């Protein structure tokens, strides 16, 4: 039968082994979920330079889920911004094509639809997205200040939803010209793919 001293030494050794195992156990090696386009900036990273960006890219946007972002947060990914209204029949024709483009681009681009109805409740826009089966587009209601900033840069057409106004922003944050009219999924995907490359679209001053 072992002595009490021997038992004490063995117990101490066991505790030491357990402590060492805990201390040296590898941390969870699973990578964190990848941040999608327009994710909030990493607070530990240096802030992005937005001083040269126009107001419409710097003003806050609150999406229908309550998350706040700016279009400047999307730098690093190409972005399609489509301006619409829930009452607009032309928008209902265009948005399904935009939805399919969002599906095809996946996390390779941000596709954002901004309602020009500044007094509309976000819940109404969220329901509009559900009713029209547009789950891959990020919806938001524009503030009056944001709508005014778009009009200042792109003209009154930006506030005319039946013209289906759209802007593509390349991965560097440079915006192309505002385009109007119905555009096919293939056309939208082609524009977003081209905008993935630096300086893919012409910079819009504002």
Q: Are 195 and 77 in contact (CB under 8 A)?
A: no
**Which of 183, 182, 177 lies closest to 201 in space, CA to CA?**
177
The four Cα atoms 198, 163, 52, 42 give a dihedral, to 10 degrees, of -70
Sorted by where each starts, the structural domains of the chain and their CATH numbers stand as 55-195 (3.40.30.10)
Residues 53-84 as b/e (b if ≥16 CB within 10 A, e otherwise) read bbebbbbebebbeeeebbbbbbbebbbbbbbb
Question: Which pLDDT score is estimated for 38?
Answer: 85
Rounded to the nearest 5°, which phi and psi values hold at 110?
-105, 135
**Which of 70, 86, 65 lies closest to 143 in space, CA to CA?**
70
- Cite the beta strand spans of 116-195 per DSSP E: 138-141, 166-169
Per-residue pLDDT of 21-44, as tens digits, reads 333 333 443 333 334 678 765 554
What's the predicted TM-score (pTM) here? 0.76
Q: Which residue reads 């979920």 in tokens?
A: 33
pLDDT < 70: residue spans in the chain: 1-36, 40-51, 198-206
Q: Is 55 left (phi over 0), alpha (psi -120 to 50) or beta?
A: alpha
Question: Which pLDDT score is estimated for 49?
Answer: 54
Question: Which pLDDT score is estimated for 197?
Answer: 80
Question: Which pLDDT score is estimated for 93?
Answer: 98
């Amino acid at each position: 039968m072992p002595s009490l001293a021997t038992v004490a030494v063995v117990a101490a050794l066991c505790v030491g082994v357990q402590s060492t195992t805990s201390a040296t156990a590898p941390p969870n090696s699973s990578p964190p979920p990848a941040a999608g386009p327009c994710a909030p900036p990493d607070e530990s990273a240096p802030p992005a330079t937005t001083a040269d960006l126009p107001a419409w890219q710097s003003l806050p946007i609150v999406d229908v889920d309550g998350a706040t972002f700016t279009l400047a947060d999307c730098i690093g990914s190409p972005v399609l911004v489509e301006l619409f209204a829930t009452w607009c029949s032309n928008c209902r024709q265009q948005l399904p094509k935009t939805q399919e483009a969002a599906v095809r681009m996946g996390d390779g681009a941000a596709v954002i639809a901004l309602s020009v109805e500044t007094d509309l409740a976000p819940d109404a826009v969220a329901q509009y997205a559900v009713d029209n089966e547009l789950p891959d587009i990020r919806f938001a209601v524009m503030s009056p200040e944001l709508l005014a900033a778009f009009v200042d840069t792109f003209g009154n057409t930006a506030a005319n939803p039946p013209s289906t106004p759209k802007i593509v922003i390349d991965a560097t944050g440079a915006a192309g010209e505002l385009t109007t009219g119905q555009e096919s999924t293939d056309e939208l995907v082609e524009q977003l793919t081209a905008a993935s490359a630096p300086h893919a679209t012409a910079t819009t001053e504002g």
